[in-house]
A = this chain, B = another copy of it.
Amino acid sequence: MVATQPDPEDLTARARIRDAALQHFGEHGFERATIRGIADTAGVSPGLVRHHFGSKQGLREACDDYLVKMVRRFNDQVRTDTQYSDLTYVAASRAALKPYQRYLARALVEGAAASLFDEMVKMSEEWLTDIDAKRSEPPFVSRKVRATLGTAMALGVPLLYQHVSRGMGVDIFSPEGDRLLSRAMLDIYSHPLISPEEAAMLIDALDKAPDRATPAEREATPGRPEEHHDD
């Protein structure tokens, strides 16, 4: 009961523009989305967009800020509610973020929304703390590394939701899809792909032979492999 949004009904024009931008950016991407289209969806003139947000980039930043605030609030809320396990958190955040999912996906892949990702990692770390307490062997790597990887992997599902839905034969955002997804996640998270012994063995091999070039590594080398500067 954190009474957040005053009323979805009489939203101010500024908020309507922001929501329309979230939608358009998510559906068409930042470049392809047009101020005119966003203004049209929001029911205002294109000029008003500029009046409120200064520029297209400003509008984007406002969208990012809004989402970060929303995720942060969601996390705080869940954090105080101890009934959630890691699994149900994943499911809950999947549901909560659903409307913004496409926007989120694009932003994250483009390297933006960093604080949002980090927020999720911190969340994962907290749960890992509990899980690690019940664990016998010491982990191979630090908790933060595992939390980071776990977060990225969990995000892979909504990020690729079109492909996942196609592969599962059901829209993962529909009730049935969500149910199937939850079952599958429970199965995956409760059944290791390899045994700890095998893993330890492979780690040993890894430490002894750090130079493990695959046959493909030699073959797949195109024009400019080493350049990735950010936008």
Contacts and interface: CB of A to CB of B under 8 A. Distances in A.
Interface residues of A, number: 116
Given A86-B193, A194-B87, A227-B23, A216 B96 contact: yes
Contacts of A111: 162-163
Contact of A102 (B87, B166, B228): B228
Tell me if A's interface is mostly helix, strand, loop or mixed. helix
Contacts of A102: 228
Identical copies of this chain, number: 2
A221 B4 CA distance: 11
A27 B110 CA distance: 9
A121 interface: yes
A186 interface: yes
Interface string A76-116: 01100100011110011101111110100110111100100
9 closest pairs, A vs B, by CB? A156-B156, A148-B167, A31-B31, A96-B216, A190-B199, A19-B223, A153-B153, A140-B187, A92-B214
